[in-house]
Structure 1
Amino acid sequence: MKWWGWGRADTAFHHDDKPALRPLLLDRLGVDIDIPAAAPPDVADLHIAPPRRPEPLTSALAAATRLSDDPVERLVHGTGKSLRELVDLRAGRLGRLPDLVVHPGDEAETAAVLRLALDHDAVVIPFGGGSNISGSLRPPDDEQRPVISIDLDRMNRVTSIDTESGLAVIEAGALGPELEEQLNAAGWTLGHFPDSFKHSTLGGWIATRSSGMQSDTYGDIAAMVLAVRVVTPHGLLETRPLPGTSTGPSVLQMILGSEGRLGVITEATVRIRPLPQRRVVLGYLYPSWEAGLRATAAITRGEARPAFVRLADAEETTFSLSLRTGGPGLAEKLLDGYVRKVRRQDPAQVCLGLVGFEGTPAAVRRDQRLVASAVKAAGGFPIGAGAGAVYDRKKFDTPYIRDFLLSRGVHADVSETGAPWSRLPGLYAEVMTAFHAGLAASGARGSVMCHLSHTDPVGACLYFTFAVVPAEDGDLHDYDVVKSAVQQAFVDGGGTLSHHHAVGTEHARWLSEDVSPAGAGLIGALFAGIDPAAQLNPGKIVP
């Protein structure tokens, strides 16, 4: 993971072969992406403060596990990938970095590290893959105690598979590709594929209540995890993988979404499924957002069991089409003519839907028929597998576009929420209104688009992607005005502050409005009871 942006240092987004993108961004943002981008910062130009590493603690940690105080490793482990963190890093505002990075090889070493930290009045912050975008990794700027980043990258194995029960035991440091490779070799899959899949870990997913792109069928991480092992200040917390229990408040649910504030997750037992025999992703076009919502709700509540259902609004549909390589081919021109002349629909209002189908060939064919019926009833029509194939190829690459825009002075980010079906149309409109009001108040130029995903019979996620061109490069004021307007519209409109990106520090001020002041107080009391000295990732979720 590169320290100044998303993903691998040798991977980046390029627009040279996407001729439709430049005019679109000129129109929406007034930004010419043909102008040379700012060069990535050189780590040699940064002032990285020396670590605070008291000798008794450092020697004890070195004897217990692998230890590093390398400046670049401390930098990588000191921040996530929120827009605020990336803007600060590129401006040389590094904030408080970890003093030491440890890499325990097993649970016993993890427990030893935590005990040493507690005994020496140090702070421990668990590190998964470093991809969090809600400020869940950064130490408080005013933290005076030694800060230890604990990275479980050596603990990355699938240790057992129970084929009769469909369960697997997996170490918490396993990255998405690592655990899927091991499961796939035995004919199984976890089915959890967030945007950050390549750069996030099982432990990180649990700590942030992650949701993957196919949660419609596989469920989010909370539905997948049946048991955990967690090193805590009070010893090893261990729950058992049972189909149901009546044992008071759920200890497992307390760990889910706890962002390292209750301990270090070392292992989880998860539900797994056999690898599907067939997978195909088909595209559909709807005459409007409202028509697409009707179809998506009908599909979700119907008899079909697709792997996922996704609907882009007109703005995101246009943006997605602008990312195609080369100019519009014959197929695109024929489709445009069909929409205009045969369907009598406005191409500027058309919305793209994607539906993923998995299972046996017979089950896939059945679900395709059921989905086609719901699409037709809403006035939509199928466009084949081309758009779906592109989505499957590029689904983990979208975050690189943010780096591309940031290097051209554009602050792009995402905010997502969830709500019942009855609230989704109104909430979508309210958030759009709030965004444009925030943009007007800031005086900046910007754009917003949205897709619906993570469907459930009760409701779904609205995932907003927005961009702001700040008045001054590197100044987050305009972004903050717009982001706050969007987040406030979520909770005012009956949605959640975040569907699956966690609370961290970015969303903490809306927690009481989401779960009630009493609920936020309950969470705070739990943290204080387990960790009265605030040595476990302090300042996250609740101050």
Structure 2
Amino acid sequence: MSDRLSAREVKRHKWWGWGLDDVTFRYDNKPAFAPLAKNKIGVDLAAKDTPVEPDLADFDVPSSRMPADVRALLTGVVGEENLVDDDEYRVLHSFGRSLPDLFRVRAGDFERLVDAVIYPDSEEEVAAILRIVLEKDLVLIPYGGGSCISGSVTPDVTEQRPVLTMNLGRMREVLEIDDTAGLARVEAGVYGPDLEEQLNALGWTVGHFPDSFTYSTLGGWAATRSSGMQSDKYGDIEDIVRGLRMVHPDGIAHTKAIPGRDSGPSVHEMILGSEGRLGIITETTVQVHRLAPVRQVIAYMYPDWEHGIRGMHAIARSTDVSPTFTRLSDGPETEFSLAMVKEPSSTKGKVASKVQDGLFAYLRSKGWDTTNEMSISYVCFEGSKESVDQQKSIVKKIVKHAGGITLGAGPGAIYDQKKFDTPYLRDFMLNYQVFGDVCDTGATWSNLNAVHAKAFEAFHTAQKQQGLPGFMFSHMSHSYHAGACLYFTFAFPYSSHEEALEQYFTAKNAVQQSFVDLGSTVSHHHAVGTEHQPWITEDIGEVGVRMVKGLFADNDPGRNLNPGKVTTP
């Protein structure tokens, strides 16, 4: 095992937004972006002053409520350097990266902050910390990468007890790989890039790449039932995590890393998605796969969403292909994607731009609406060269039969390189008093188009009632035998700071309600936290909610473990 990082060496977001301080979204090199913003939501980016980034010194940060004697007990476990309670770290760890969290942190809405952040380096230290938490009646919130968008790491504003956040970022090692079984024992605090770096060096991959990959952890994925972009091949996190260890108030809960289970109700499944309410996940054993010799992402284009869904459905049901991922953007998202393309500077780029212009002119001559309806798709293939070539040939025929065309590997490579950059756009838009957020759901193939249409109707009806413009787009991803995920993104300018969050929740709640009205899930992979709680009864039923509440109450009667998440008391 390598030397442990210190607390302040652990990777973290900037306190007020996503990711690194020196990385920002730029639109000056994307000639179509500003016109799109003005056309869709009425915001003239060029007419506004250059925004100034927030400065924590401008805000009053409440003092820590952690008693000195309790602090001394905690530092006795991890050392003084691994308990941090300065203003910046407490603010950072009091908010996830949901839109309301980002809005509140930028406004200095620090009504209830965590009182200290502790960084253990072993399961034994985690257990010792939990004993202090229970003895002193503290609240403990586990913290992965802080990328959650559901309120899962945010303390309850009414909580009067001292609140301690546990950051597992020092526990980041791949401990063991079973080459024969294809299983890896890994500490839960490892970030996605660090996990892949360690595995890739030995020829392996876990294959789990959520949008938050660069700023999320293995333990966070398990605790929130995460899905990755490549779930078509590698599965969702519940398929990937085969065994785990969790520090529980009564000791260590552990599940065996085995292919199947028949031991009554699954303790393994109880822990997955529990969001820290049953204990702290310290280690997981995950399925790993040998790196494929060839990986290629191919782009396709369909005349509209309905033709694209037919193609996606046919690919998912094909017995001859097994893509790593399949993704279809609707017309508005395709328009948005094209507006994100940088202005070509090289000769090669300028030639590619002229080729695209020629292609679109040809498609228009064929009756395609290249402005509003045309839908782009990406399919990823992995394996031997022979296998990839064969699958590409089959998918090309499926796409053609569904009315689409093959664009090739060029656009697919660009998508694959930029897939983790989108979160920076939300910070940029907030600088201009524009909300940009997402909603996701899982729906059956027979219901996908209805859910897609209903969500758009709900959003635009809500915006009309609020007297606000709005832009919404969507894509389909995470294909299964029975259905797929629909992922919606919306943006609109809020009218005033005082009314902003009310306007946001009016829009988002309308979309979320449209999901459950049509029998789809309240969320496909963004956890429950607090933001999706209003629909939990509609999602799992009154009896289901009672069962979950009973599970939490029995295992944490003092409500010391991340209370208020998933369900109310």
Q: TM-score range by the shorter chain?
A: over 0.9
Distance in 2, matches of 1:525 and 1:439, equals 39
- Give how far 1:520 is off: 1.0
Which residue is equivalent to 1:233? 249
**Deviation readout 1:369-390 (Å, 9 max, x if unpaired):** 1111110001100111121111
- Give how far 1:95 is off: 2.8
Which residue is equivalent to 2:53? 40
Contact 1:104–1:154, Cα closer than 8 Å, also in 2? yes
Which residue is equivalent to 2:101? 85
In the alignment, is residue 482 of structure 1 matched against residue 495 of structure 2?
A: no
- Give how far 1:479 is off: 1.1
In the alignment, is residue 11 of structure 1 matched against residue 23 of structure 2?
A: yes
Distance in 2, matches of 1:149 and 1:17, equals 40
Which residue is equivalent to 2:522? 497
Distance in 2, matches of 1:38 and 1:279, equals 40
Which residue is equivalent to 1:389? 413
**Deviation readout 1:160-187 (Å, 9 max, x if unpaired):** 0000000000000000011100000000
Which residue is equivalent to 1:51? 64
Distance in 1, matches of 2:107 and 2:223, equals 29
Distance in 2, matches of 1:529 and 1:412, equals 39
- Give how far 1:473 is off: 3.7
Residue of structure 2 aligned with 1:407, choices 399, 422, 431: 431
- Summarize the alignment of residues 138-177 of structure 1 with structure 2, pairs less than 5 Å apart: 138-177=154-193
Which residue is equivalent to 1:330? 354
Distance in 1, matches of 2:533 and 2:102, equals 19
Q: Which moved more, 1:468-477 or 1:294-303?
A: 468-477
Contact 1:205–1:221, Cα closer than 8 Å, also in 2? yes
Which residue is equivalent to 2:4? none
Contact 2:316–2:479, Cα closer than 8 Å, also in 1? yes
Distance in 1, matches of 2:49 and 2:484, equals 40
Which residue is equivalent to 2:556? 531
In the alignment, is residue 430 of structure 1 matched against residue 454 of structure 2?
A: yes
Distance in 2, matches of 1:442 and 1:477, equals 10
In the alignment, is residue 30 of structure 1 matched against residue 48 of structure 2?
A: no
- Give how far 1:122 is off: 0.3
Contact 1:61–1:113, Cα closer than 8 Å, also in 2? yes
Which residue is equivalent to 1:317? 334
AA paired with 2:472? Answer: V
Distance in 2, matches of 1:113 and 1:354, equals 46
Contact 2:224–2:527, Cα closer than 8 Å, also in 1? yes
Query: TM-score scaled by structure 1?
Result: 0.99
Q: Which moved more, 1:384-393 or 1:274-283?
A: 384-393
- Summarize the alignment of residues 77-476 of structure 1 with structure 2, pairs less than 5 Å apart: 77-302=93-318, 303-326=320-343, 329-341=353-365, 343-348=366-371, 349-473=373-497, 475-476=500-501
Distance in 2, matches of 1:208 and 1:93, equals 26
Q: Which moved more, 1:381-390 or 1:222-231?
A: 381-390
**Deviation readout 1:173-229 (Å, 9 max, x if unpaired):** 000011100000000000000011010000000010000000011101010001110
Distance in 2, matches of 1:153 and 1:84, equals 25
3-state DSSP class of the match of 1:451?
A: strand
Residue of structure 1 aligned with 2:538, choices 513, 520, 532: 513
Which residue is equivalent to 2:10? none
CA RMSD of aligned residues (A): 1.0
Moved over 4 A (4+): none
Distance in 1, matches of 2:21 and 2:111, equals 22
Distance in 1, matches of 2:321 and 2:268, equals 31
Contact 2:223–2:271, Cα closer than 8 Å, also in 1? yes
Distance in 2, matches of 1:37 and 1:523, equals 48
Contact 2:226–2:236, Cα closer than 8 Å, also in 1? yes
3-state DSSP class of the match of 1:445?
A: coil
AA paired with 2:192? Answer: G
Contact 1:38–1:408, Cα closer than 8 Å, also in 2? yes
AA paired with 1:306? Answer: P
Distance in 1, matches of 2:227 and 2:111, equals 29
AA paired with 1:449? Answer: F
Structure 2 residues without counterparts, runs of 5 or longer: 1-12, 345-349
Structure 1 residues without counterparts, runs of 5 or longer: none
Which residue is equivalent to 2:5? none
Contact 1:444–1:478, Cα closer than 8 Å, also in 2? no
Contact 2:62–2:110, Cα closer than 8 Å, also in 1? no
AA paired with 1:424? Answer: L
3-state DSSP class of the match of 1:468?
A: strand
Distance in 1, matches of 2:248 and 2:118, equals 17
3-state DSSP class of the match of 1:422?
A: coil
The aligned length equals 542
Query: What percentage of aligned pairs have identical amino acids?
Result: 49
Query: TM-score scaled by structure 2?
Result: 0.94
Distance in 2, matches of 1:467 and 1:517, equals 33
3-state DSSP class of the match of 1:425?
A: helix
- Give how far 1:142 is off: 1.0
AA paired with 2:557? Answer: P
Distance in 2, matches of 1:447 and 1:49, equals 38
AA paired with 1:472? Answer: S
Distance in 1, matches of 2:143 and 2:272, equals 16
- Give how far 1:55 is off: 2.4
3-state DSSP class of the match of 1:392?
A: helix
Distance in 1, matches of 2:473 and 2:564, equals 31
- Give how far 1:57 is off: 1.2
Distance in 1, matches of 2:377 and 2:272, equals 31
AA paired with 1:486? Answer: V
- Give how far 1:56 is off: 2.4
